[in-house]
Amino acid sequence: MEELPKEIKALLKKQKYHIVGHHSGIKKCRWTHLSLVEGRTCYKEKFYGVKSHRCMQISPSLIWCTHSCRFCWRIQPQDIDFYWKQTKIEVPLDDPKTILDGCVHEWRRILSGYKPTSHESVSWKKWEEANDPFSVAISLSGEPLLYPRISDLILECKRRDLITFLVSNGTLPDVLAKIEEPDQLYVSLIAPDKESYKSTCRPLISDGWERFNQTLESFNSLKSRTVLRLTLVDGLNLKNPEGFARLIDRANPTFVEAKAYMFLGFSRKKGRQLTLENMPSHEKIREFAKEIAVHSGYEIVDESIQSRVVLLSKSKNVEKFS
């Protein structure tokens, strides 16, 4: 990881990221706000029992990734015509305790704006609960496995009794094979074939597809709960459910999430070549999930219409974190 450029740092702060140390950060999730203010919750609370108002969304590698996915709402350096060849300054590597301490500190700073004395729609009980985080989603931005001490970061979360969700694009199977397993591992399944993978994910490494398939092969050896998440873009990768089903059956994950791409953030930049028309309806996602179910050993067990996501599993009973 190289030095975080000042141009990108300024944009991140403008987008309400709280930068922690040299390469990490935290940002309030929209569902944290909605949970505190309106009592509405994220699909992860509905599916898995993770409390939206007590879930920190963090990253130990804010803008470093092996993909430049067209649908990603996060900032990518090329979105502002910044290219890494302009700088070769490596950032100091922050230790996991420093990262987590910083994220918890910033989390409580964020929540201070929701204190019931100034925010009448928030209850004291819920605000106090929120200040005691329940889970950490290591998913905010970038590829977390690029942080060399990711295993130690997961261990530090566990030492603090925090449920850990880790989200990866699956291009670092050698790292994944050696890390402390999170409570739930997400791997993004974006394409049913190599050609679609290249056009959708725009990998920054030449053997991304091969590495991804190596990750799928390793799923059966993992003890943690596993999820393959399909971010589906109409006119791009919302196709070939049979191909998706073959990859799902090979990995044999605990869950599959079929989720609609949302036309948000930097995915609206001209260079991404996406429009509002690329955002599938929930009905389209449900029908696609049904097709995957037909061609795999999975069945639909839940859905969230507001998030346009359908959950598939081999078991109808989804054990929730508590």
- Say which residue, 91 or 138, is predicted with more confidence: 138
Considering Cα of 10, then 279, then 277, then 69, what sign does the dihedral take? positive
Q: Is residue 236 part of a domain?
A: yes
Band (1; pLDDT cuts 50, 70, 90)? low
Alpha-helix residue ranges (DSSP H) falling in the chain: 6-14, 30-38, 43-48, 96-112, 124-130, 150-159, 173-176, 194-201, 208-218, 241-251, 282-295
Instruction: Output b/e per residue, 30-55; b: 16+ Cβ within 10 A.
Output: ebbbbbbeeeebbbbbbbbebbbbbb
Q: Is residue 235 part of a domain?
A: yes
- Say which residue, 270 or 38, is predicted with more confidence: 38
**131, 111 contact by CB (below 8 A):** yes
CATH for 146: 3.20.20.70
Q: Is residue 322 part of a domain?
A: no
Instruction: Report the pLDDT value the prediction gives residue 259, as an integer from 0 to 100.
Output: 98
Summarize pLDDT for 239-289 with one digit per residue, the tens: 999 999 999 999 999 999 999 999 988 888 877 788 899 999 999 999 999
**181, 77 contact by CB (below 8 A):** no
Instruction: Report the pLDDT value the prediction gives residue 87, as an integer from 0 to 100.
Output: 47
Instruction: Report the pLDDT value the prediction gives residue 89, as an integer from 0 to 100.
Output: 56
Average confidence (pLDDT) over 209-222: 95
Question: Which three-class secondary structure state does DSSP give residue 304?
Answer: strand
Average confidence (pLDDT) over 37-51: 95
Q: Is residue 164 part of a domain?
A: yes
Domain boundaries, position 265: 6-313
With a cut of 50, say whether residue 86 has pLDDT above it: no
Q: Is residue 144 part of a domain?
A: yes
Tell me how many domains the chain contains. 1
Instruction: Report the pLDDT value the prediction gives residue 320, as an integer from 0 to 100.
Output: 92
Question: What's the burial of 26, exposed, middle or buried (CB within 10 Å: 0-12/13-18/19+)?
Answer: buried
DSSP 37: H
| Angstrom distances, CA of residue 74 to CA of 81, 93, 113, 301 | 15, 22, 24, 30
Structural tokens at position 299? 């069945």
Average confidence (pLDDT) over 192-212: 95
Other beta carbons within 10 angstroms of residue 11's beta carbon come to 17
User: CA-CA distance, 215 to 202, in Å (whole number)?
Assistant: 18
Other beta carbons within 10 angstroms of residue 84's beta carbon come to 14
With a cut of 90, say whether residue 75 has pLDDT above it: no
As beta bridge partners, residue 168 has 187
Summarize pLDDT for 9-28 with one digit per residue, the tens: 888 999 899 999 999 999 99
Instruction: Report the pLDDT value the prediction gives residue 270, as an integer from 0 to 100.
Output: 79
Band (85; pLDDT cuts 50, 70, 90)? low
| Angstrom distances, CA of residue 151 to CA of 22, 79, 220 | 18, 31, 19
